[in-house]
Amino acid sequence: MTKKNLTASIDIDAAPEQVWGIVSDLKRMPEWSDQCRLMRPLGRVRVGALTVNMNHRGRRYWPTVSRIERFEPGHAIAFRTLSNDSVWHFEITPTATGSTVVHRRTVPPHGTKWISYTIVDHWLGGEETFDIEMEEGLNNTLRRIKAALEHRPAGIRPRTV
């Protein structure tokens, strides 16, 4: 079972409020994420709200549902993927020149749920490969957000659907 927590961070030349405007607009997650193809909040974005999501790896697609667990306007948002118990976090800290954004995936100490591990192991190429891609994805997400806020090219290859 996946037990590895992943973290990435980036400095962005934009005010925390600008960064918050992007990371809290969950419908825009497919613009930033390598894996996410759809994220739709069910109702107002707040603690306890659910989102319906569609993810992909290559030609393989799968749906998930998440619950927002942390919602601190201007500072942090986190949502738990209910099928595997992983939590995806965005935290924004003001700096002298803008913001630092930390993007994390955390898993419970006991690891992800058995069904999630089985799918990753047998359908998505194995845990080690998947975690490497997830870590790259965290960094790519932050680079895309930075590029959008600083109005620069992201400097990474385009995503394929």
Q: Could you tell me the pLDDT band of residue 161, with boundaries at 50, 70 and 90?
A: very low
pTM: 0.84
Where do the domains of the chain lie, and which CATH numbers do they carry? 6-150 (3.30.530.20)
* Angle of helix 127-150 versus helix 16-23 axis, rounded to 10: 130
Residue 157 confidence (pLDDT): 45
DSSP 13: S
Q: 108: exposed, middle or buried (C-beta count within 10 Å: 0-12, 13-18, 19+)? A: middle
**Can you read off the two tokens belonging to residue 10?**
């980036």
63 Cβ neighbours under 8 A, 6+ residues apart:
52, 53, 54, 55
Asked if 147 contacts 140 with a C-beta cutoff of 8 angstroms, the reply is: no
Residue-wise pLDDT for 146-158, tens only, equals: 999 998 766 554 4
**Can you read off the two tokens belonging to residue 71?**
């919602």
The mean per-residue pLDDT over the stretch 20-48 comes to 97
Asked if 161 contacts 33 with a C-beta cutoff of 8 angstroms, the reply is: no
Q: Could you tell me the pLDDT band of residue 128, with boundaries at 50, 70 and 90?
A: low
The mean per-residue pLDDT over the stretch 36-63 comes to 94
